[in-house]
Amino acid sequence: MAFYRPAPYQKPLAIVLLLAALALPSVLSAFGQEFYVGFATRVLIFALAASSLNLVLGFGGMFSLGHAAFFGAGAYVAAICMQAGISDALLAFPLAMLAAGLLALLVGALSLRTRGVYFIMITLAFAQMAYYLFVSARAWGGDDGLPLVGRMTLGGLSLSNDNALFFTALSALTAAIVFLGRLADARFGRTIQAIRENETRMEALGYPVFRYRLACFALGGALAGLAGALLANLTGLASPNLLQWMQSGTLLVMVIIGGVGYLYGGVVGAVVLLCLEEVLSGFTLHWHIGLGVLLLGIVLFAPKGVAALFGKRDD
């Protein structure tokens, strides 16, 4: 496989979609459907979380089954910040990223010594440990989770307005995508992609492979932490369920549907999965059956994911 290279029409398409997203709240309110602003915000937040996993899995080649731990940790940091009276997102969000990034650094430092199935299992184990830690942490609400008394402010701007939170999430996602797009082409991105392809060869070229993988893993964790902090603001709750392996699985499914190793893989996957859930769950409680059919279809007919149709990666 080669380095990620976007198709020429990808950027204009992304800008059009961004403009459409910017107009979305006004359009929804014009039709009296403000309820969907919250849903759209949720999609953006999961798009960010899935994109952070795609950095680790798609670009770094690390199949982590514990990514939700960093997502959930970010949510808890936001809730704990609120509890401690820190209600400015300009401080709380970086703190969430820092904490989640450090947690990922720790988990990565131990688990990146293993490979293959062992890596999958050990990341899963660490995430489940984190889950049980929060379940048993009485001071932080135990298995009920830790509610936020309200939403944060961003500088002077209150996020309790749904549109304000939507635009905050949209900005965060946009910034992350721009950053990841640059990263893919920069030295670091080329390094981790080459390590994904052949780590021994990279070691034989003098690259300290472990260090680069760890940095990638921690960076992914930090971005997931930001998504978690945003989600806590949206739902008003940091729940231990956010750290559970099911959540890691959901993020994985998003990345796989969207396209592993494609810049927009996480975004596309989050949009497809959450919209599908929204539509199908209106018809039946058993909407997972529909999801199963979709997954089968993706694996059979578009094994590289939906975003593969927009990005190019010659094999």
Partner 1 sequence: MTEPLLDVRQLSRRFAAVDALKDVNFSVEAGEVHALIGPNGAGKTTFIHHVSGALQPDSGSVHFAGREVTRLAMHQRVAAGMARSYQITNVFLGLSALDNVALAVQGRQDAGSSFRFWQAARTEKRLFEEARSFLEQVGLAKRVETVAGNLAHGEQRALELAMALATQPQLLLLDEPMAGTGPEESARMVELIEHLARHVTILLVEHDMAAVFRLADRISVLVNGRLIATGTPESVRADPEVRRAYLGDHL
Q: Which of 136, 198, 281, 284 binds partner 1 (CB under 8 A)?
A: 198
Residues 147 and 77 sit within 8 Å (Cβ to Cβ): no
The tokens describing 27, both together, are 């359009």
Q: Using the rule CB under 8 A, is 8 a contact of partner 1?
A: no
The C-alpha R_g of the chain, in whole angstroms, comes to: 19
Q: Using the rule CB under 8 A, is 188 a contact of partner 1?
A: yes
3-state secondary structure at position 67: coil
Q: How far apart are the first and last CA of the chain?
A: 4
Contacts (Cβ under 8 Å, ≥6 apart) of 97: 74, 222, 223, 225, 226, 229
Q: Which of 9, 32, 155, 187 binds partner 1 (CB under 8 A)?
A: 187
- In whole angstroms, what is the distance from residue 123 CA to residue 110 CA? 9
CB nearer to partner 1: give 56 or 274: 56
Q: Using the rule CB under 8 A, is 11 a contact of partner 1?
A: no
Q: Which of 149, 204, 285, 300 binds partner 1 (CB under 8 A)?
A: 204
Nearest distance, CB of residue 242 and partner 1, angstroms: 27
Q: Which of 138, 155, 200, 283 binds partner 1 (CB under 8 A)?
A: 200
Of 104-112, 128-136, 187-195, 278-286: span binding partner 1 (CB under 8 A): 187-195
**What is the CB-side half-sphere exposure of residue 14 using CA atoms within 13 A?**
21
3-state secondary structure at position 61: coil
Q: Using the rule CB under 8 A, is 115 a contact of partner 1?
A: no
22: alpha, beta or left, given left = phi > 0 and alpha = psi -120 to 50? alpha
**H or E segment at 5?**
strand 5-6
Q: Which residue is it, tokens 């937040």?
A: 45
Q: Which of 22, 90, 175, 205 binds partner 1 (CB under 8 A)?
A: 205
Nearest distance, CB of residue 212 and partner 1, angstroms: 7
Closest CA to 68 of 55, 89, 53: 53
Of 183-191, 245-253, 255-263, 303-311: span binding partner 1 (CB under 8 A): 183-191
Of 53-61, 195-203, 281-289, 294-302: span binding partner 1 (CB under 8 A): 195-203
Nearest distance, CB of residue 210 and partner 1, angstroms: 9
Q: Using the rule CB under 8 A, is 109 a contact of partner 1?
A: no
- In whole angstroms, what is the distance from residue 171 CA to residue 297 CA? 32
CB nearer to partner 1: give 215 or 294: 215
Q: Which of 197, 246, 279, 284 binds partner 1 (CB under 8 A)?
A: 197
Q: Which residue is it, tokens 């964790």?
A: 221
- Write out the residues near partner 1 by the rule CB under 8 A: 1-3, 179, 182-183, 185-191, 194, 197-198, 200-209, 212, 215, 314-315
